[in-house]
Amino acid sequence: MKIFKKFIIYSSLALYTTLIGGCAISSLGDGINSKPMKQDPSLPTVKSIQTLSDMSAVAFEWIPLSDSSDIVGYKIYRLNSVDGNGSAKLINVANLKDRAISHYVDTNLKPNTLYQYRFTAYTSDDRESKGSKTVKARTQPAIQPINYIISVGNLANKIKLLWRPHQSQRVAGYIIERSSIYNPKWIEIATVKNRFNVEYIDYGLENDRLYKYRLRVKTFDGIVSKPSKTVEVETKDLPKPIKNIETTFDMPKQIRVSWQVSKEKDIRTYRVYRSFEHDAKFDLIKETKDNFYLDRLSEDGQRAFYKVSVVDKDGLESILPDLSIDGSTLRKPSTPKLIKIISSERDITLFWDSTDNRSRQYKIIRKKKSGWITVETKEFLTKETKFVDREVKPKDTYSYQVLSIDRYGITSKPTEESEKSLRVE
Measured CA to CA, the distance from residue 25 to residue 48 in angstroms comes to 20
Residue 82 has pLDDT above 70, yes or no: no
Mean pLDDT for all residues in the chain: 88
Q: Are residues 314 and 262 in the same domain?
A: yes
Q: Are residues 31 and 113 in the same domain?
A: yes
Does some domain include residue 1?
Answer: no
Question: Dihedral of the CA atoms 281, 284, 289, 295 (nearest 10)?
Answer: -80
More confident site: 45 or 56: 45
Question: Dihedral of the CA atoms 182, 187, 190, 194 (nearest 10)?
Answer: 130
pLDDT digits (tens, 9 = 90+) for 364-394: 999 998 877 878 999 999 999 999 999 999 8
pLDDT band at 217 (very low <50, low <70, confident <90, very high): very high
Count: domains in the chain: 4
266: closest CA among 418, 348, 154, 420?
154
Residue 69 confidence (pLDDT): 86
The DSSP line for 10-22 is -------PPP-TT
Burial 34-52 (b: 16+ CB within 10 A, else e): beebeebeebeebeebebb
Residue 22 confidence (pLDDT): 28
Residue 207 confidence (pLDDT): 92
**Structural contact between residues 415 and 352, judged by C-beta atoms closer than 8 angstroms:** yes
- Give the residue numbers spanning the domain of 378: 337-420
Q: Are residues 32 and 128 in the same domain?
A: yes
pLDDT digits (tens, 9 = 90+) for 117-129: 999 999 999 899 9
Residue 295 confidence (pLDDT): 98
Choosing from 111, 138, 165, the residue where a domain stops is 138
Q: Are residues 128 and 35 in the same domain?
A: yes
Choosing from 74, 105, 138, the residue where a domain stops is 138
Measured CA to CA, the distance from residue 379 to residue 383 in angstroms comes to 14
CATH of the domain at 292: 2.60.40.10
More confident site: 425 or 240: 240
**Structural contact between residues 235 and 303, judged by C-beta atoms closer than 8 angstroms:** no
Does some domain include residue 18?
Answer: no
**Structural contact between residues 175 and 216, judged by C-beta atoms closer than 8 angstroms:** yes
Reduce the DSSP state of residue 363 to 3 states and report it: strand
Residue 87 confidence (pLDDT): 61
pLDDT digits (tens, 9 = 90+) for 155-207: 999 999 999 999 999 999 999 999 998 889 999 999 999 999 999 999 999 99
Measured CA to CA, the distance from residue 160 to residue 373 in angstroms comes to 81
Measured CA to CA, the distance from residue 58 to residue 119 in angstroms comes to 14
Q: Which residues contact 34 (CB under 8 A, 6 or more apart)?
A: 75, 92, 95
Choosing from 289, 304, 328, the residue where a domain stops is 328
pTM to 2 decimal places: 0.65
Stretch 405-409: mean pLDDT: 96
Residue 297 has pLDDT above 70, yes or no: yes
Q: Are residues 230 and 260 in the same domain?
A: no
Q: Are residues 321 and 411 in the same domain?
A: no
Residue 373 confidence (pLDDT): 84
Stretch 338-360: mean pLDDT: 95
Q: Are residues 350 and 384 in the same domain?
A: yes
